Copies of this chain bind each other. A is one copy, B any other.
Amino acid sequence: MEDTVYELYYWPHIQGRGEFIRLALEDAGAPYDDVARDPARGVAAIRALLDASPDARDYDGPAPFAPPVLKHGRVALSQVANILGYLGPRLGLMPGDDAGRHRAMLVQLTFADLVSEVHDTHHPTSTQFRYEDQMDAARERAQAFVRLRLPKFLGWIERTLRDVGGPAQMLATGHSTCDLSLFQLVEGLRYAFPKAMAHFEPSHPRVVEVRDRVAERPRIAAYLASPRRLAFNENGIFRRYAALDLVP
């Protein structure tokens, strides 16, 4: 089972939520199959996995609700934090003991909430309608986000890094998926909210320190320079819209 290849099922044209999984697999140097990026399989492979009837499935347990999905043998898991909770101990990127894993999940799920709140800045009323059709509500939500929510999340992250002591990392047990996810959060926030991040970064030095440390890890640096790393764009979670790039 541990030799079984990891298969990632995620939209092939965006970083999106799948990027948090890619970063963990890349940092560990784990071979993985980014299924839908293969044009011969594409997004049809995602639909086939989600929609298969029970007797046509090659995995056990509930069908995942939505991508990203990690498939590993007969295991098929959705939800970023859940996937990282499964991969983390296997890749040496999360403590293996019960309390340690759940503390890491506390961090990953708080990050997941931040990601959802970022998403809702451009889609406050419905994911089914375009940003252009909900711009007024988007501006209201983005304003509340950069003024109230973003500093609350960044403050909590900075404080958690400070509390650990020593080199900046989210868990006292060492480098983890949480640091890799924090790197992605900073990159995404810089892309989507450059003015707000320019405002907040000087007062959150440890957050920036983690971002820089992760960027310099050899496998991550190689990944970021490779064609496997997609560019941010206006179909992902982090989108750059001039109307939402507000000063806190």
Chain A residues with CB under 8 Å of chain B are 54, 60-65, 74-75, 77-79, 81-82, 85-86, 98-100, 102-103, 105-107, 109-110, 113, 116, 120, 124-126, 128-129, 134, 137, 140-141, 144, 148, 153, 156, 159-160, 163, 170-172
Contacts and interface: CB of A to CB of B under 8 A. Distances in A.
A79 B144 contact: no
A85 B65 contact: no
Given A62-B170, A109-B79, A125 B103 contact: no
27 contacts: A60-B99, A61-B99, A61-B100, A61-B106, A62-B103, A62-B160, A62-B170, A63-B156, A63-B163, A74-B99, A77-B103, A78-B106, A79-B109, A79-B110, A81-B109, A82-B106, A86-B98, A116-B116, A120-B124, A124-B137, A125-B137, A125-B144, A126-B140, A128-B148, A134-B140, A137-B137, A137-B140
Contacts of A125: 124, 137, 140-141, 144
Contacts of A61: 99-100, 103, 106, 171-172
A153 B137 CA distance: 24
A78 B92 CA distance: 23
Contact of A79 (B86, B105, B159, B170): B105
Report the copy number of this chain in the oligomer.
Answer: 2
Contacts of A137: 124-125, 137, 140
A4 B23 CA distance: 38
The 4 closest A-B pairs by CB, nearest first: A126-B144, A61-B103, A79-B109, A125-B140
Contacts of A106: 61-62, 64-65, 77-79, 82
Nearest to A78: B106
A63 B159 contact: yes
B102 A75 contact: yes
A17 B81 CA distance: 18
A170 to B, nearest CB: 7
Contacts of A77: 102-103, 105-106
